A and B are shown apart, each in its own frame.
Chain A
Amino acid sequence: MKKGEIILDKVSKIYESRQGGEFYVALDNINLKIKSGDRIGLIGCNGSGKTTLLKLIAGIAKASRGEVRVEGKVNSLLEIGAGFHPDLSGIDNIMLNGLLAGMSRNEVLELKNKIVEFSDLGEHIGMPFYTYSSGMKLKLAFSVAVAADPDILIFDEVVSMGDEKFIKMFKDYFSEVLRQRKTVLFATHVLEVLSLYCDKTIWMDKGRVRLMGKTDEVIKQYRKEYGNE
């Protein structure tokens, strides 16, 4: 397998209720092949299985059936603030998040100053994380992710929380991602963003892949279904 490739082979994810006996099928027999350098958008209603799919790819959850194969370093910006300790300062939080993003301690120590600079947080970097606004949290998490230089990037809605400065940061980085042909997965409800960043899009519906193809095509069908063209 090439770096940045993702293969899902007959993958299902079934959640069991706490009392047992009741099951919820979050993903139902998914077959996917994502090539290195693909930029894939993910759309679908709430509860259609987008997040579960991303979790399986990020290695956070385990498939109930089937096989998930991922080659290369994965980094996810799924939940804002995930992995950060609220009482510790931004700078004290960098080490653990760098490790979570796939770096080693030595690499984080080397890149720490660069991360701080890139995050553009100024004096806030020394303040406790609980004092941060959503946008500031996002900037820090994003800066760590960039420094880790992943092969596969996973984003969702959270990136829409940044200010103008962040959007510029994000766009600059994204053009770099394009140049380096990294694999990108992007789950969102803001369809305009997808046509901007993603060449292919997957439409998830009730735990299955409803449609996969060129972003514009899929969005067109999706809009037709929900009647808001």
Chain B
Amino acid sequence: MLSIGIGQRRWWDFLLTMTEREIKSKYKFSVLGLFWIVLNPIIQMLVIGFVFRFFTSIKTEIYMMYLFSGLVVWNFFSSSVTRSTPAIVNERYLLKKAKFPRETIVLSIVLSNLVQLALSVVLMILIAIFLGVKISFAYLIFLPLSLLLIALFTAGFALVFSSLNVKYRDTSFVINFLVSIWFYATPVIYLLTMLPEWMSKWLYLNPMTGLIEFFRWIMLGLEVENWFFMCGNLFFALLTFVIGNYVFKRFSLDFDDWV
């Protein structure tokens, strides 16, 4: 029992320290530092919002909020995945130093991005208040669950592909390519309700669809297109994390052979 306790303690020590390191090193030499966290989605929102004003009849303020909520979740996913995939190879000097829980390399990237996501959510609430868009505070009780599921799906996905990338270096190229296409198959710049019904059903094959819908339902009180499919997506997020852990454990034994 005691040894399990120490092992777990060590695991959390590593995750915390690696996350600290990730955040510190990321903003160390940038002049604007942490300000980039809020600047990034705002600029994106303004640019995409400006372009899409010509394509949609929705009131601009409300569309901006749809967009912002979709972008913060999508950015969390895409930046975590694209940064995690080559991470094991990039941290090869860490692998050569000692035995330690390798998955913390990937999980610390996801966790440090989660800190940014949480800050963005706070910012989003402030923007909504500023623009006079109604926020459904009653649903906010589900917010931790939503963020947790988004993080678990991202982590599971990142665990699978970061471990594959150690042996098959093409993985990171495929992921970069995949993520840029995936963006259009996810309701980030549009809503499911804007699409014909037959099409929105297919989009539920993409787990990010349900995750973003759930998040928007909580933050903006937006209607969910299909509750059954959405819950399926949420469950799949959980499953992805379990599979990701399993795959990573299997591959991580041989990491040293390939870097």
Contacts and interface: CB of A to CB of B under 8 A. Distances in A.
B99 A60 contact: yes
Contacts, number: 77
Contact of A79 (B18, B28, B93): B93
A132 to B, nearest CB: 14
Nearest to B92: A82
A97 B14 CA distance: 10
A102 B7 CA distance: 11
A88 B18 CA distance: 12
A88 B97 contact: no
A100 interface: yes
Interface in B50-107: 93-100
Interface residues of A, number: 32
B24 A99 contact: no
A60 B13 contact: no
B93 A59 contact: no
A65 interface: no
A60 B17 contact: no
Interface residues of B, number: 27
Contacts of A101: 98
A85 B94 CA distance: 9
A158 interface: no
B98 A59 contact: yes
A105 B28 contact: no
B93 A83 contact: yes
A92 B258 CA distance: 29
Given A15-B257, A88-B24, A96-B18, A79 B13 contact: no
23 contacts: A15-B257, A18-B258, A58-B98, A58-B99, A60-B95, A60-B96, A60-B256, A74-B98, A75-B98, A82-B93, A82-B96, A82-B97, A83-B93, A83-B98, A84-B93, A87-B29, A88-B24, A88-B25, A96-B17, A96-B21, A99-B14, A99-B17, A100-B98
Lowest 6 A-B CB distances belong to which pairs? A59-B99, A83-B97, A82-B97, A61-B256, A100-B98, A105-B13
